[in-house]
Structure 1
């Protein structure tokens, strides 16, 4: 029995991705959620976001997405409104964050209590939401993989995006010089968060070499394809390439896994060469088989990011807010590449 005054089912409003559709073809459905079982909690979602993963999923291009139909939503922030037996009753009323991969585009969700991460006071739900998957990804790539330190120089591709803008800010807090690629129209926004803007439509290697003639200490590349080759070539001796996507192939037909497998092979080959540079692929879910350690790292890393944000050292980059029912418009805006930061869905604004 849950630790609440009622055990009646909750009606959850969900956005469903029915297949390979255009953003306006997303569906809104309702389903009944039972009271949470032992070890689980019921969360009223206050904010969820549009990540690059959902842009790939609607095309059937995300590496390990579930079969259609399903509810997207990679992460969320919400309030615990019911807890099952064996769950800590102190969680009731707490604002928490969770990494979900799918399911977040919902008004309510049942989650494992052990997967929840407390959100510090001083952050709104929408602000905290911008740092969940983006913050974990940026922190782990910067500090756990590349291990960049103060005084070094890095390149961040897509510096105006959700992960990119978070990565730029984390690097600047750590005293790292950042060169950020973006469109010319987003150059001012990239500069405002502390990066030196470079136009991705131009000759990126030439522009970066002009700013860092001896090479850079790390490059963070979500583009894949030709970009990752150029990125590896920008590294100084001892430098690190961190690839974390294949955005350049999201509109290509064919097997969704092939571009990623090609990327894996290329990175592995570079690591065999005697060039004193390293190449890695970042996957936020790596290490999940060691569940306790995985959860501990998520809590530690996201906790560090949220604490920085609560102290005002990071600024939430909210591109736009939409009600959950307007998920299609939100997805289209995120895909337009015209915004800085993250597009956020706010379920409480349901019609």
Structure 2
């Protein structure tokens, strides 16, 4: 199946869309500023009918990711100015489409990567950005694989290019991205060492990884399992610990950094820690050390829209197919109604759960 065929077909058919033009009242969760989770605002907004190329999606599930936790603090690298509606990704059903699109799209379950706006009951989205979701997947379960699945798949296969028989280290192996990384790596025949808190060791082990305690001496624990180092490290923590991650690489190994959680509470410009991390990685690549270092950003290449969307759709479709076939197991930490997003965010920030906290549609 080609990347183009993985995307929802958005060309108009001979039968034009005859959906009645009407507005839709959307419930939205607004982040008004640097506030505590309990101070998120529940609002309503009228959405116009879909314009050309747009689809109206009724959101069935949307996630609480580390990005929203950073946005609440004003620390996400390129977040919009306050106030805005957070929500990095979603799964929902198409309820209406623009007049130029095939009405057969209506009723289809889809996934979308949004960066912001997903914490809504309804959303207008470009139809070419929607990816079909297999009917076998529950919306909340499928949601755990949208941004997490794309991120994990691309870091493993497009950046580190892992191979069966290798050994990797995944930091935060009990988290949303981490738990997906572990599972995808195990499907590929890779041995995984997963760092987490001691209380989450059993959960990490159940995913198929060898757990180590992130509060202990990570280098010593990894060397005890893999004395010659590891073939790849996936690090969302950043900060001083990134140096140890790089030193743990075996010759020819790859470090993929994809965040700076260690600096999330630091005062000052939110971009500086990321830029400093990026500069360090680039410097390491200039050294004759036979190791590679990358910074992963899911939005890299977005300016080349068609190629970007095809790649995202292809990778997400691969992940969702594995989930639908039972090769990946969704890690839903908890489900909250959309209107209780504040409580969901508090739980996600507690770091006491395995997997991803998901917001689902409020009951009528």
Q: Structure 2 length as normaliser, TM-score?
A: 0.95
Whether 1:178 aligns to 2:192 is yes
Shift of 1:8: 1.6
Matching residue of 1:13: 27
Report what 1:278 is aligned to: 292
The equivalent residue for 1:32 is 46
Alignment pair present for 1:80 and 2:94: yes
Name segments (4+ residues, structure 1) moved above 2 Å.
2-6
Q: Is the 8 A contact 1:62 1:256 kept in 2?
A: yes
- Are residues 1:199 and 2:239 paired? no
Distance 2:164 2:363 in 1: 42
Alignment partner, residue 4 of structure 2: none
CA contact (8 A) 2:17 2:100 kept: no
How far residue 348 of structure 1 moved from its aligned partner, in angstroms, is 3.2
The count of aligned residue pairs is 349
Q: Secondary structure of the equivalent of 1:140?
A: helix
* Distance in 2 of aligned mates of 1:264 and 1:173: 30
1:301 aligns with 2:315: yes
How many Å apart are 1:349 and its aligned residue? 3.2
Q: CA deviation at 1:89?
A: 1.5
SS in 2 for 1:142: helix
2:270 to 256, 264, 284: 256
Match of 2:257 among 218, 224, 243: 243
Q: Which runs of 5+ in 2 are unaligned?
A: 1-15
Shift of 1:332: 0.5
For 1:169, the equivalent position in structure 2 comes to 183
Aligned to 2:351: 337
SS at match of 2:269: coil
CA contact (8 A) 2:38 2:343 kept: yes
Conserved? CA contact 1:4–1:82, under 8 Å: no
Taking the TM superposition and a 5 Å limit, the aligned residue runs for 1:1-351 are 3=17, 5-349=19-363
CA distance in 1, matches of 2:19, 2:68: 36
- 1:121 Cα deviation after fit: 1.7
Q: Structure 1 residues 89, 45: closer, same or farther in 2, change over 3 A?
A: same
CA-CA distance at 1:226 after TM superposition: 1.3
C-alpha change, 1:36 and 1:147, in structure 2 (3 Å) is same
**Aligned partner of residue 349 in structure 1, secondary structure:** coil
State the 1:85 CA deviation: 1.6
Q: Structure 1, residues 101-159: CA drift from partner, whole Å, max 9, x if none?
A: 00000000000000000001210100100000000000000000000100000000000
Quote how far apart the aligned CAs of 1:3 are.
3.2
Deviation at 1:246, TM superposition (A): 0.1
CA distance in 2, matches of 1:55, 1:166: 19
Q: Is the 8 A contact 2:87 2:117 kept in 1?
A: yes
Deviation at 1:88, TM superposition (A): 2.2
Deviation at 1:227, TM superposition (A): 1.6
Distance 1:142 1:69 in 2: 35
The change in CA–CA distance for 1:20 and 1:12 in structure 2 (over 3 A counts) is same
Superposed CA RMSD: 0.9
